[in-house]
Amino acid sequence: MDRASHAVRPARVDATGWGWRHAGRRRQALQGVDLAIEPGERVLLLGPSGSGKSTLLHAFAGVLGGDDEGESRGTLRVDGRAPTEARGRAGLVLQDPDSQVILARVGDDVAFGCENLGVPREEIWERVRAAVDAVGLDLPLDHPTSRLSGGQKQRLALAGAIAMRPGLLLLDEPTANLDPDGVAEVRRAVARVLERTGATLVVVEHRVDVWLDLVDRVVVLGADGELIADGRPDAVLDRRREALAAAGVWVPDVPLEVPDAEVVANDAPPALSTTDLAIGRPRGRVLHEGLDLAIPAAASTVLTGPNGAGKSTLALTLGGLLRPRGGRVAAAPTISLGLGESPVRWRSRELLTRIGTVFQEPEHQFVAATVRDEVAVAPRALGLAAREVDARVDEVLHRLRLDHLAAANPFTLSGGEARRLSVGSVLATRPGVVILDEPTFGQDRLGWVELVRLLHELVHDGTTLLSVTHDAAFIDSLGGHRIALDARGGARVGSGSRG
Q: Please, which of residues 415-454 interact with another protein by CB under 8 A?
A: 425-426, 429
Q: Is the dihedral of CA 313, 316, 318, 322 positive or negative?
A: negative
Cα separation, 301 vs 468, whole angstroms:
9
Cβ proximity to another protein: between 284 and 494 the closer is 284
**Interaction between residue 316 and another protein (CB under 8 A):** yes
Minimum CB separation of residue 470 from another protein in Å reads: 12
In this chain, which of 144, 340, 489, 494 binds another protein, going by CB under 8 A? 144
Size of the site for another protein (CB under 8 A): 74
What is the chain's alpha carbon radius of gyration, rounded to the nearest angstrom?
Answer: 24
Contact status, residue 346 vs residue 354, Cβ threshold 8 Å = yes
Q: Which stretch binds another protein (CB under 8 A): 105-113, 194-202, 249-257, 298-306?
A: 105-113
Q: How far apart are CA 41 and CA 229, in angstroms?
A: 17
Q: Which is nearer to another protein, 55 or 477 (CB)?
A: 55
Identified binder of another protein from the candidate list 33, 45, 46, 101, rule CB under 8 A: 101
Interacting positions 201-260 with another protein (CB under 8 A): none
Residues 457-486 that bind another protein (CB under 8 A): none
Binding flag, residue 125, another protein (CB under 8 A): yes
Query: Sheet harboring 42-46: ordered strands across?
Result: 90-93, 168-172, 200-204, 42-46, 217-221, 227-231
Determine which helix (DSSP H) or strand (DSSP E) holds 218, and give its type and residue range: strand 217-221
| Smallest distance, another protein to C-beta of residue 374, A | 9
Residues 427 and 356 sit within 8 Å (Cβ to Cβ)? yes
Q: Confirm or reject binding of residue 99 to another protein (CB under 8 A).
A: yes
Q: Which is nearer to another protein, 156 or 478 (CB)?
A: 156
Tell which positions 373-402 bind another protein, by CB under 8 A: 377-378, 381-382
Choosing from 177, 200, 304, 440, the residue that interacts with another protein (CB under 8 A) is 177
Closest by CA position to 183, among listed 430, 441, 364, 389? 441
Whether 256 contacts 473, CB under 8 Å: yes
DSSP 335: H
CB of 64 to another protein, least distance (A): 9
Considering only residues 333 to 352 of the shown chain, the ones binding another protein according to CB under 8 A are: 347-349, 351-352
State yes or no: residue 411 binds another protein (CB under 8 A).
yes
Phi first, then psi: what are they for 335, rounded to 5°?
A: -100, -45
Given 250, 366, 448, 474, the residue binding another protein (CB under 8 A)? 366
| Identified binder of another protein from the candidate list 119, 229, 271, 491, rule CB under 8 A | 119
Of 14, 108, 126, 394, which one interacts with another protein (CB under 8 A)?
108
233/431 with CB nearer another protein: 431
Angle ∠(22,24,27) on CA atoms, nearest 5: 60
List of long-range contacts for 346-354, beta carbons under 8 Å, 24+ apart: 346/320, 348/381, 349/381, 349/382, 351/319, 351/320, 351/431, 352/378, 352/381, 352/382, 352/429, 352/431, 353/382, 353/429, 353/430, 353/431, 353/432, 354/320, 354/431, 354/432, 354/433
| Residue range at the interface with another protein (CB under 8 A); choices 2-10, 143-151, 213-221, 252-260 | 143-151
- Between residue 43 and residue 62, which ones bind another protein under the rule CB under 8 A? 58, 61
